[in-house]
Amino acid sequence: MALMVSSSLRFRSCQSGRVVIMRLDEVPTDPAEVPKVTQLLERSYKACGERILLINVLHDGLQRPNDDVLTVLKAAFRANFENYIEMAIVVMPEMAGFRRALFRSLFTGVILALRLRGRILSVDSVEEALALFQKHARIDIAAARREAFLAGLHTS
């Protein structure tokens, strides 16, 4: 079931049971856009009735958020993990070299600052993320793959 939230913030998402796969097409430039992602997560949580398993796909064209947006993102991460997310996996399939290291260090900083060790992981593919969630929570991996395919997120 694809859930979309209208905004100048562009992203694609799909949901299969507890699994939500999201790909940001661009990083928010205005802190006021950050709550749009929280709205999606809240709706996803309500749709399945339990904490969600989030796969966040990052692509090579993403820029580092500005400091104002980063501050709001950290607060949103904390609130989303307290309220809606059981575990999140960041997928960086297209990133290499310095860019990949930059985003990994950004997420490592968030994980440490928010004390989310073990609740945010990083892998190279959506398939790898789905396999981890299958081990962690016994998700219906075939249904999640199907939803990802329909949303165009399966090869991310």
pLDDT by position in tens, the chain (length 156) = 544 444 456 788 999 999 999 988 888 888 999 898 899 999 999 999 999 999 988 877 777 788 898 889 888 888 998 899 999 998 877 656 666 666 666 666 666 666 666 778 888 889 999 999 999 898 999 999 999 999 888 654
Residue 134 counted as domain residue: yes
Here the CATH number for the domain that contains residue 62 is: 3.30.750
pLDDT of residue 7: 46
* Contact of 92 with 125, CB cutoff 8 Å: no
Residue 119 counted as domain residue: yes
* Contact of 16 with 147, CB cutoff 8 Å: yes
Measured distance CA(139)–CA(144) in Å, rounded = 8
pLDDT of residue 26: 81
Residue 25 counted as domain residue: yes
Tokens of 31: 């802190």
Residue 155 counted as domain residue: no
Beta bridge partners of 15: 20
pLDDT of residue 123: 87
Amino acid, res. 21: I
pLDDT of residue 24: 82
Residue 2 counted as domain residue: no
Residues with Cβ within 8 Å of 141's Cβ and at least 6 positions away in sequence, in order, are 130, 131, 133, 134
Residue 78 counted as domain residue: yes
Beta bridge partners of 24: 11
Distance of CA 51 to the CA centre of its chain: 14
Domain count, the chain: 1
Domain of residue 45 covers: 11-150
pLDDT of residue 108: 66
pLDDT of residue 41: 93
Residue 129 counted as domain residue: yes
